[in-house]
Each structure stands twice: as structure tokens, then as C-alpha cells.
């Protein structure tokens, strides 16, 4: 789907997740979302139903990048964990979870010996506060889009 890379960028950037959180809390209905495609910066729209399906695809995609082990050590330094956990919360709260994904933060465990690289670089990244990790990811995605002339603006139209 042509929308996938754009929606991913919008999720990493942050404001879309914040707005979806607000919509979930308010119980609002999404009529459609308008944004610009990464490929050619052409405006595109998804209906509300198409957006919820797209967010389920994004949830599955984020799941692919979660560390299978060592969540306790890496969750604050992994922006995909942030996207996954927020999307999972939004989709379950709105009853829009279409994918069969079960997640419980109680599953968080310490790393099994040998499951996590122990070099200095990984250790230092794991010590970073999540706010810095997210700020760096967001800044990076804004830079990538700016370099190719991609507009990261979007509008959610509520019904």
C-alpha cells in the first residue's frame, strides 16, 4: 500500500500518535485522514476504516522490530517499542485491533545471559532516557523527509 511508509513516518514523528490517543479517549470517529505520500509528495487520503487497517499493519510491523528478549533493558531506548505499545493501547481502547496480537507488559523480564550484546555502544544506548531516543528518531525522520521534499503534515477529519 502506498500509504505505509508515510504513515510510519507520521507515527515516528509523534503528533499523529498523540492525536490518535486523544481520539481514543474522546471516543471520536475518524471520517478520513489526508497526508502526502513519501514517494512523490502527492496528497492522498484514507477513509477512517482504511486508517484503522493501516494502523494494524503498522502494529504488526513494529512487532517485527521488538527485541524478543531483554525488553526490560531496551524498552526505553527502542522507538519501535514506543510505537508498538502506544498503537496497541489505541487500537484496543477503540476496539479497532484487527490483528491477533496479544501483549502484556507483565511479560517484561530481565535479559537472559547472552541474549543481548554487551558492548559499550549497546550499553550506552540502553541508558538513554526514552525522551532523548524519541527526540532523535523524530528529528531523523523530519530530516529524511526534508531532504526529499516530503511534507509531513496531515489532517484527521472527524465525523
d(CA 65, CA 5): 15
* Terminal CA-CA length for the chain: 24
**Cβ of 120: how many Cβ atoms within 10 Å?**
8
Q: Is the dihedral of CA 135, 141, 147, 152 positive or negative?
A: negative
Grid coordinates representing 148?
A: 526529499
Return per-residue pLDDT of the chain as tens, 159 residues: 689 999 999 999 999 999 999 999 999 999 999 999 999 999 999 999 999 999 999 999 988 887 666 666 666 667 788 899 899 999 999 999 999 988 766 666 666 676 667 777 767 767 777 777 778 888 899 999 999 999 999 999 998
Provide the residue count of the chain.
159
Amino acid at each position: 500500500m502506498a500509504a505505509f511508509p508515510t504513515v510510519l513516518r507520521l507515527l515516528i514523528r509523534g503528533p499523529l500518535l498523540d492525536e490518535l490517543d486523544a481520539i481514543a479517549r474522546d471516543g471520536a470517529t475518524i471520517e478520513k485522514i489526508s497526508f502526502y505520500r513519501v514517494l512523490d509528495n502527492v496528497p492522498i487520503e484514507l477513509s477512517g476504516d482504511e486508517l484503522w487497517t493501516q494502523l494494524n499493519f503498522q502494529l504488526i510491523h513494529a512487532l517485527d522490530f521488538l527485541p524478543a528478549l531483554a525488553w526490560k533493558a531496551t524498552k526505553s531506548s527502542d522507538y519501535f517499542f514506543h510505537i508498538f505499545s502506544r498503537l496497541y493501547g489505541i487500537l484496543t481502547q477503540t476496539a479497532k485491533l484487527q490483528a491477533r496480537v496479544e501483549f502484556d507488559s507483565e511479560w517484561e523480564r530481565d535479559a537472559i545471559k547472552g541474549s543481548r550484546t554487551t558492548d559499550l555502544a549497546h550499553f550506552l544506548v540502553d541508558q538513554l532516557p526514552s525522551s532523548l531516543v524519541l527526540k532523535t528518531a523524530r528529528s531523523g525522520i523530519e530530516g529524511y523527509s526534508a531532504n526529499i521534499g516530503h511534507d509531513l503534515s496531515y489532517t484527521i477529519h472527524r465525523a
